Structure 1
Amino acid sequence: MSTRGKISGNTPNPFASRRGLNQFNNRLFTLLVWVVGICTVLFICGLLFLILQKGLPKLEWSFLSGLPSEIEEGGGIGPTLFNSIYVLVISLVISIPLGMAAGIYLAEFAPDNKFIAFVRICVEGLASVPSIIFGLFGIAIFVEAFQIGLTILGGAVSLAFLNLPVLTRVTEEAIRAVPIEMKNASFALGGTHLQTILRVLIPVSLNSIITGICLVAGRAFGESAVIILTAGVTTSGEMWDFSLFSPGETLAVHLWYVQSEAIVPDATEIAEKAAAVLVFVVLLINVIFRVPLWLNARKTRV
């Protein structure tokens, strides 16, 4: 007993040095994550502040509701702002049901074979395709095949095509992330597959799905390449034009046009105010889509 204790007392513990090294690596990694995270947040906040502080103080109602001007200074963004929201709503009405349905099918009903694996690869590839490709597709469909010209309808449907792959993949991954025990518990209680999807899978994965919707909504609202090719760089000249066959210049396209092509004397000021409105609306869209999650979380706590 004494010899064994003596050996154990004199022999260095090989795990002690390894434990100390692991603790050092853990602290170093934690510090690195904190530094990178804080720098990223500061960069984002600084970028938002730089854009908003130049444009927001100069905003007036006449600018938000006025008509764009080609030559004279003092033009507004009324029709372009309306077109941006109008095109976004139409594209989301089309893409959200189709994207969620496709994601649910791939997660719950699609067989596990090579063809479905190929379909997933295609969806992932389409999600990373440059937006100008969807613009060219929209030209081929709406301008050349249907010959309806550059319209709000063409821009909205093309944006829906742009959103579909992302929504499909986000929905599929969100549904797959739901614990299998919750799904089995629903079946054990007598729920059908449809009831399980509507009352268990979708509510549990709603946070991830809405995050995906926020991403595609913000991307669609600020998209310019697709709109230029399918909806044009002009408006109908009316503030509230609900016609789907009117030209559909959006705020992002107007911002690009003012900075690159317009000859108005106050082009820089218009661009600064338009950029501030664009960023503010994107932030507002994210807040609006988060409201159902906050209400659901509040009900859950109660």
Structure 2
Amino acid sequence: MSMRKEVSAASPYSFSKRRKASVLMDRLFTGMVWGIGIVVILFIIGLLFLLMEKGLPELSWDFLYGLPSEIEEGGGIGPALFNSFYVLIISLLVSIPIGMAAGIYLAEFAPNNKLIEFVRICVEGLSSVPSIIFGLFGIALFVEFFEIGLTILGAAISLAFLNLPVLTRVTEESIRAVPVELRNASFALGSTHLQTIRSVLLPVALNGIMTGICLTAGRAFGESAVIILTAGVSTSGEMWDFNLFSPGGTLAVHLWYIQSEAIVPDVELIAQKTTTVLIFVALLINILFRVPLWFNARKTQV
């Protein structure tokens, strides 16, 4: 009896001591997370400031719409900027439907066997392959086999091949993350498998899928190795050239070219302004792809 009384008397003190230690550790961990987060944010802001410090004040419409110059100063980036969006849109039109269809198949219809597991491993491996490998594949397919030369079409499809593994895995994992209860509830209400995918699984998985599309779109817009090998470093010299068989030098390729081979007097200023435009467009792409998520969130709340 005396031993039980001693334990009961010591328990409140030990519990209070452990609770104070837990609260202290919680505050230290919270402070550490806040500190790391603030440092990362400040680092990003500082990096953006350094990249855009000199180029942002010099931006003008003439630079955005003007034709690039090989010798004289004051050239623009119009054709390269147009090619960047043109190649990006074509590549997304090719890769998004195929990638999402492949992801839906692997998540909903594919049997659970060794062959499908091997396919998943291959897809994951392709998503980490360097982009220059896809560029070499584009050369072999479009330049040597089909003999169409360095074109916008070859660059766009090569970029689509680059994006397909990422879109496939992101779509599959996003659909697999949907709670089983939602799928079962849809089936219980009499919905078919296709109706369940269209009305339940895809809206719930939209956040993850759109995140994957944002990542692939930003990667494709800033890609240079694939473009250099499949579309070249030059443009047709026209601002609105929709010909798929024209040279497809993009903004990232233009930045590489003026930094390495250009002989214009204001090469550093052009590089700084081009860097600023690249950063702004990358942010714009992320914002545009977030708009469907905002509408989907409002619809879900209603």
- In which range does the TM-score fall when normalised by the shorter chain? over 0.9
Report the secondary structure of 1:54's partner residue.
coil
Amino acid at match of 2:36: V
* TM superposition shift of 1:138: 0.5
Aligned position for 1:229: 229
Contact 2:203–2:296 (8 Å) recurs in 1? no
1-structure distance, mates of 2:12, 2:89: 69
- Give the structure 2 partner of residue 107 of structure 1: 107
SS in 1 for 2:164: helix
What does residue 148 of structure 2 align with?
Answer: 148
Indicate conservation of the 8 Å contact 2:135/2:230, yes or no: yes
Percentage of matched positions with identical amino acids = 75
Give structure 2 stretches of 5+ with no counterpart.
none
Question: Cα 1:3–1:151, aligned 2, differ >3 Å: closer, same or farther?
Answer: closer
* Deviation for aligned residue 1:277: 0.5
CA RMSD of aligned residues (A): 1.7
Per-residue CA deviations over 1:41-94 (Å, capped at 9, x if unaligned) read 211122222223322211111111111111111111000000000000000000
Q: 1:272 to 1:7 in 2, by over 3 A?
A: closer
Partner of 1:180: 180
CA distance in 2, matches of 1:271, 1:205: 39
- Mapped to 1, the partners of 2:11 and 2:191 lie a distance apart of 62
CA displacement 1:123-166 (0-9 Å, x = unmatched): 11111111111101100100111111100001000000010011
SS state at 2:133 partner:
helix
Please give the residue correspondences for 1:142-291 in structure 2 after superposition, counting only pairs within 5 Å.
142-291=142-291
Comparing 157-166 with 111-120, greater Cα deviation is found at 111-120
Query: Residues 3 and 297 (structure 1 numbering): CA distance in 2 closer, same or farther, change over 3 Å?
Result: closer
CA deviation after TM superposition for structure 1 residue 280, in Å? 0.4
* CA distance in structure 2 between the aligned counterparts of 1:120 and 1:18, rounded to whole angstroms: 47
Counterpart residue identity of residue 190, structure 1: G
Structure 1 window deviating more from structure 2 (276-285 vs 289-298): it is 289-298
Which stretch of the first structure deviates more once superposed, 62-71 or 195-204?
62-71
Q: 1:19-40: per-residue Cα shift (whole Å, max 9, x none)?
A: 5544444333322222222211
**Unmatched 5+ stretches in structure 1:** none
Give TM-score, length-normalised by structure 1: 0.95
* Deviation of 1:113 (Å): 1.0
Cα distance, 1:276 vs. partner? 0.5
1:87-126: CA deviation from partner (whole Å, max 9, x where unpaired): 0000000000011001111111111111111111111111
Q: How far is the alpha carbon of 1:15 from its aligned partner? A: 5.7
**CA distance in 2: counterparts of 1:149 and 1:293, whole angstroms:** 39
Is the Cα–Cα contact under 8 Å of residues 183 and 200 in structure 2 kept in the other structure? yes
Aligned partner of residue 55 in structure 2, secondary structure:
helix
